[in-house]
Amino acid sequence: MDFIKKYLSLVKFSHTIFALPFALIGFFLATQYADYSFNWLILIYVMFCMIFARNAAMAFNRYIDKDIDKINPRTEQREIPSGKLSSGSAIYFVIVNSVLFIVTTWFINNLVFFLSPIALFVVLGYSYTKRFTFLCHFILGLGLALAPIGAYLSVTGGFDIIPLIFSFIVLLWTSGFDIIYALQDDEFDKEQLLNSIPVFAGKKNALVISGILHFLAAILIVIAGIYADFALWYWLGAIIFIALLFYQHTIVKINDLSKVNIAFFTTNGIASVVFAFFTILALFVG
């Protein structure tokens, strides 16, 4: 049991809450909005794909960053640098979850199966990006943005505008809150020649950029509601999500980063679950 806890801690399994609700939105957009038949087995496959892909991505990130994490006071107690798990165990975990992800997509449909290596390339490739570009936050956002469109494709086998809008919402939302999270390592990243928007633009401008991204996400939430003609429940969820989106910008200050974890984990986790709940409710009851 302790062994399992170490792996769950390695991949921060609780953070699955960020993208998984949007995968459920994508699934139910297909069954309720696009009027495809509901299939419990496909839903289970989608859930497993989310878990396997995220496990692989997070474990690979911890493996790639192990030497950096070891000298960063904020991350030195993570599983690999602290010796709780070996590098070999982490890579084995990445391989197993990557294989399980691809195998699971094979049971869904041909399109998601053939696209699965591309999805893995994105979510695994993110780990390298901060070594050469400050746009790394957007690659992370892209990885999470695959959730709604991937779930939609799992049901329909085809693309559509509305799930793509939700994917762009996730892209902007995730990129914005990852910039806030990166503020914690601004000085360390500069010393280690690592890239981020706080390093590139400075803390003040980074917060402005994050706010702009979240403002654009809010606009897309409104556009999605109008385009799909969602009823009251969606708009209630949208208001709460947008309010929480901007609330985090009121509690994170350039000279006070003590509430970054509240902004990053608590606020965004609640926002994701609440928005998904009301959006799915709107799809069922109008």
What pLDDT, on a 0 to 100 scale, did the predictor assign at position 255? 82
pLDDT, tens digit, for every residue of 53-87? 999 999 999 999 999 999 999 989 888 999 888 99
Task: Note the pTM of the prediction, 2 decimals.
Answer: 0.95
Helix (H, G, I), strand (E, B) or coil at 83: coil
6 pLDDT above the threshold of 80: no
**Please, what is the Cα angle at 213 between 122 and 117, to 5 degrees?**
10
Contact 274, 266 (CB under 8 A): no
Confidence of residue 141 (pLDDT cuts 50, 70, 90): very high
Measured between alpha carbons, how far is 202 from 54 in angstroms, rounded to an integer? 30
Confidence of residue 258 (pLDDT cuts 50, 70, 90): confident
Contact 23, 277 (CB under 8 A): no
Mean pLDDT of 12-19: 75
Least confident interval from 127-136, 249-258, 267-276:
249-258
Non-local (6+) Cβ contacts of 223 within 8 A are 165
For residue 106, give the nearest of 122, 96, 117, 92 by alpha carbon: 117
125 pLDDT above the threshold of 90: yes
- Domains plus CATH for the chain? 2-285 (1.10.357.140)
What pLDDT, on a 0 to 100 scale, did the predictor assign at position 4? 73
Confidence of residue 1 (pLDDT cuts 50, 70, 90): low
In the chain, what percentage of residues exceed pLDDT 90? Answer: 81
Measured between alpha carbons, how far is 162 from 223 in angstroms, rounded to an integer? 10
pLDDT, tens digit, for every residue of 193-236? 999 999 999 999 999 999 999 999 999 999 999 999 998 999 99
The token pair that represents 36 in the structure block: 């495809």
For residue 207, give the nearest of 217, 193, 197 by alpha carbon: 197
What pLDDT, on a 0 to 100 scale, did the predictor assign at position 257? 82
Confidence of residue 14 (pLDDT cuts 50, 70, 90): low
Measured between alpha carbons, how far is 71 from 95 in angstroms, rounded to an integer? 26
For residue 180, give the nearest of 249, 133, 255, 123 by alpha carbon: 249
What pLDDT, on a 0 to 100 scale, did the predictor assign at position 131? 95
Mean pLDDT of 17-43: 94
